[in-house]
Every structure is written in C-alpha cells, then in structure tokens.
C-alpha cells in the first residue's frame, strides 16, 4: 500500500510541477499502478513456486 501511495505522490509531482498537466498525472498514475501490480504478481508467483512447486507441475496429483 505504501508503494502505491508513493507512486501516486511522485506521479503528481512530476505531472503538476514539471509538465503542468493533469492528463500526464492520469497516465503516470495508471502506469505506476500497473507496474506495482506486476511486481506484486511476480513476487507471489515466485513465492508460490518456492513453497508449493506442485502447483506449476501441470498435474492434479490424482490418478
């Protein structure tokens, strides 16, 4: 959650003070949200692969 808050803060600073545009804020806020979501999903996949590798075997475990 803190990363999302920081991302929106810096998106706002960049767009309002440097470019002076709310349109740019929208684009950068969405881009930051997608980037953080991708990092979270990647971390979860690596965590699952480490702790439950059978999830990625493609086998249900039943015969």
Q: What is the pLDDT of residues 6-58, one digit of tens each?
A: 888 888 887 777 777 778 888 888 888 899 899 999 999 999 999 998 888 87
Expressed as residue numbers, the domain containing 30 is 2-53
pLDDT value at residue 44: 94
Whether residue 60 lies inside any domain: the answer is: no
Q: How long a stretch of residues is the chain?
A: 63
Phi/psi class of residue 16: alpha, beta or left (left: φ > 0; alpha: ψ in -120 to 50)?
alpha
| Number of compact structural domains in the chain | 1
pLDDT for residue 62 is more than 60: no
pLDDT value at residue 46: 93
Whether residue 35 lies inside any domain: the answer is: yes
Whether residue 61 lies inside any domain: the answer is: no
Please give the Cα distance from 21 to 45 (Å, whole number): 37
Whether residue 11 lies inside any domain: the answer is: yes
pLDDT value at residue 26: 84
pLDDT value at residue 18: 74
Whether residue 59 lies inside any domain: the answer is: no
Q: How far is CA 1 from CA 5, 6, 60, in A?
A: 6, 9, 34
pLDDT value at residue 60: 60
């Amino acid at each position: 959650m803190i990363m999302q808050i920081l991302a929106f803060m810096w998106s706002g600073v960049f767009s309002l003070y440097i470019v002076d545009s709310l349109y740019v804020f929208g684009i950068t806020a969405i881009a930051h949200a997608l980037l953080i979501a991708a990092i979270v999903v990647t971390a979860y996949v690596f965590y699952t692969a480490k702790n439950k590798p059978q999830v990625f075997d493609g086998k249900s475990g039943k015969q």
